[in-house]
Structure 1
Amino acid sequence: MLRLAAGIAARSYAVDLVLIKREGAYLDSIPPGVRLVVLNTRRTLNSVAALAGYLRRERPAAMLTALVHVNVGALLASTLSRARTRVIVTEHSQITRNFAALTSRTVKLAYRMVPRVYPLATRVVAVSGGVADDLATFSGMGRDTISVIHNGIVTPELYARAAEPCDHPWLAPGEPPVIMAAGRLAPVKDFAALIRAFADLRARRRARLLILGEGELRGELEKLASDLGVADDVGMPGFYANPYAVMSRASVFVQSSQWEGLPSVLVEAMACGTPVVATDCPGGTREIMDDGRLGILVPMNDDQAMADAILRTLDQPVQTNEMARKVEEFTLDRAVDTYLELALGPQAVRRPLVHPRMAQPEAGVNR
């Protein structure tokens, strides 16, 4: 959402980022031109009332929201405020799977309100067709009432950072090929399956596996690599300041997830020109890879198929010009154009310089 807020602000719109509390990992990353508004509330009901007050005072032209409990709260606040703000709620993940894993009673209640509350939105947006299908099943909404807008992932900055030097010794000229993955070290990413597949591959060919990211499964994954005898060829350096410089030099990028919304790292890898292999999991993976035309899709829970697919990709990578054409669907400019048209109408895209305010609760838009 910060990237989208920055893109809208760059078109000379006034954009507010509305937070319940002044906290979070990205506070230092709020882009220039985006005003931070903090509601300073503790309880969910108080947050709804505070947001309603903000809407009455500021009268934003549109409000863009994300996360189910935030979406529901924003729609309730909009109803209370009686402001004529267009509310666009977005879904970024598989709502049915997220609901099954919930432990918070408050958040569970918000999910249960989705079928009644989401129809109040001006527009409901999913980041992929797979997410839209899942939301339609969960909510009972007609699939044709849910728009699909891909995240704005690809920017000129991504390409510039991909071209920067990379000092990782495994990526020096003459070293064995590096298979790369990135994401939270969490069950949904299923990096254990990737490590098992890599052990199979490593028995047949020299190679190395580099997994960028941090999470609660680090110890288990390190133990698995050791037990399989590949610890010396599996690197997990944690957070990497510039993952794109690594991506652009890796031989293959692998996504091993059990489900996704719209996997940004897969798009980023393709933008970097890196061949991709991915599990054919629920979500947007198949859309990104053009039903397997732009990389091999493998069944989930099939380590052998993943190892074979990586080997085949090392030998016969997809042409980078085909991937480059595909990633044009995921540019920030394209996403900004689409959201502005939804929020303010077609004239907002054609005439980007005389602009009203837009608001984003934990990401939204104001007039």
Structure 2
Amino acid sequence: MTRSRVSAPGALLATPTSARGHPVALYLTRNLATGGAERVFIDYVNNAQSLSPVVALLERRGGLLPELSTGVPFEARVDRTAVPRQLEAIASEIPGESFARLALECLWLKDVAKQTGADVVSSFLMRAHVVALVTKIALLPDVPVVLNIHEHMSDSAPFLYPLKRDRALMRWVTRCLFPRADRIIVVAEELKRDLVASHGVPADLIEVVHNPLHIERIRAAGAESVAPRWMSPAGTRTIVAVGRLVYLKGYDLLLHALAKLRATRDVRLMLVGKGVERGELEKLAAQLGVQAAVTFAGEHINPWKLIARADVLALTSRTEAFPSVLGEAMALGVPVLATDCSGGVRECLRDGAAGLIVATEDVSAIARGLERILEDAELRATLVAAGHARAASFDLPERLRHYESVLSRVMLSRTT
């Protein structure tokens, strides 16, 4: 596939740093699929203050592409907006294909960094981390690299890398390549502890920066009208869950909890997102006899208007990093329930002060927790008030200042 170069209208990718007035930060990720880390990526890029952002995508595709500001220049190595996933799967089975692709991606990143005068490379998600680090080590040692970690490296591995060989490779990457970064930003203290204790990454290399919330935008989007087909009947309570339909999100647990709740009350569930588990979840809903009470809403660029009209947001994951959806619901005045999984859930919810936390993998605990929120008006009011206050601490301006200060310190340390 030929290289696809895409830039914003009028953008001069080779403009030197001095002409821009700010250091150039090259933000690198695989694509702009609709996910939490990708939304954080978009927020940092679109709202940059002290840095001049340039976006580099290994693949030009993803539901969040239209969200990228037209004023931000970007390049994509390949355009895969029209490539069938089946064809990609076949190509990935070709012996040596992944290593050949890595070599081409590293050469491409070196060229982009030189053309844009990048002062720092900031990578998001694993494929981009590997490309950034190999490029730094082999081709571009003078440009610092900052990794942005949005997953619990130990506990997410069995879900993200089901093959034993892939998990072994990822362990090698975290142990041997991650320490070669100039800085590692993680979104929760628990992720830092895991990298240090389980992967041997030096603690002084890691800094915690919580995910930002663009609260003004979230609330404006939450107030938008909703099509009638997404509305629950009058008098029916609605639980909403937002995220990829994959096993680690624990939606099977949520469906079982819904079945328990519907034995005594009229309640519906809306699942917002797409993923490989949708077919299995639809079968499970039918087996449990709750298919008529479950709406598979698919992927939405604006999930906030659906969250805003729910009575409670449920996060029943088996592992998380720092789930932005909890903060988004709190910003919209919707009480939240979350499982006590590894990652930043407790940190996000202040150990349960801003949201109800229940045991992981415990269907009965999930059902009881949802019942409490739905039936206890005083508890709901307490959670809504505490949630509003907690969400405010993640507001974008302050998080952005913290984030850009980390990148600025990295650049400064390389020049002194």
TM-score, normalization by structure 2: 0.76
Counterparts in 2 of 1:165 and 1:83: CA distance versus 1, 3 Å: same
The corresponding residue for 1:326 is 390
Q: Is 1:27 paired with 2:27?
A: no
1:30 Cα deviation from its structure 2 partner:
2.3
**Matched-pair contact (CA < 8 Å) for 2:340–2:346:** yes
Kindly indicate whether residue 239 of structure 2 is the aligned counterpart of residue 179 of structure 1.
yes
SS state at 1:216 partner: coil
CA distance in 2 between counterparts of 1:249 and 1:292 reads 23
Q: How far, CA to CA, are the matches of 2:59 and 2:300 in structure 1? A: 28
C-alpha displacement at 1:171, in angstroms? 4.1
The separation in 1 between residues aligned to 2:156 and 2:229, in whole angstroms, is 38
Q: CA deviation at 1:123?
A: 1.1
Structure 2 letter corresponding to 1:86: P
Pick aligned residue for 2:126 from 29, 54, 68? 68
The answer as to 2:367 corresponding to 1:303 is no
Match of 2:403 in 1: 339
Stretches of structure 2 lacking an aligned partner (at least 5 in a row): 1-40, 79-98
Q: Structure 1: state its 5+ residue gaps.
A: 349-367
Q: CA RMSD in A?
A: 2.7
Specify the alignment match of 2:194 in structure 1. 134
Amino acid at match of 1:68: M
C-alpha distance in 1 between matches for 2:75 and 2:298? 32
| Contact 2:318–2:341 (Cα < 8 Å) also in 1 | yes
Q: Does 1:15 align with 2:53?
A: yes
Q: In 2 relative to 1, CA 265–33 (structure 1 residues): closer, same or farther, beyond 3 Å? A: same
Structure 1 equivalent of residue 44 of structure 2 = 4
SS at match of 1:63: strand
Q: Is the 8 A contact 1:92 1:262 kept in 2?
A: yes
Q: Distance in 1 between matches of 2:146 and 2:312?
A: 37
Q: CA shift at 1:302, angstroms?
A: 1.0
Identity in percent? 30
> Are the counterparts in 1 of residues 331 and 391 from structure 2 also a CA contact under 8 Å?
yes
For residues 76 and 305 of structure 2, the distance between their equivalents in structure 1, rounded to whole angstroms, comes to 35
Instruction: Give 1:326 deviation, angstroms.
Output: 0.7
- Distance verdict in 2 for CA 1:13–1:104, change over 3 Å: farther
One-letter code of the match for 2:385? N
Q: What secondary structure, in the 3-state scheme, does the structure 2 residue paired with 1:282 have?
A: coil
Q: Helix, strand or coil: the match of 2:169?
A: helix
Matches within 5 A, 1:47-196: 47-82=105-140, 84-100=142-158, 101-102=160-161, 103=163, 109=169, 111-168=171-228, 171=231, 174-196=234-256
Secondary structure of the structure 2 residue equivalent to 1:209: strand
State the shift of 1:195 in Å: 0.9
Q: What code does the residue aligned with 1:339 have?
A: Y
What count of residue pairs does the alignment treat as equivalent?
346
- Residue 229 of structure 1, CA deviation: 2.2
Aligned CA distance change for structure 1 residues 24 and 295 (closer, same or farther; 3 Å): closer
Report deviation, 1:57: 4.2
Alignment of 1:234-249 (within 5 A): 234-249=294-309
1:289-344 per-position Cα deviation (integer Å, ceiling 9, x unaligned): 11111121111121111111111111131342321111123222222211211122
TM-score, normalised to structure 1, is: 0.85
| Residue of structure 2 in register with 1:44 after alignment | 102
Higher relative contact order (CA 8 A, sep 6+): 1
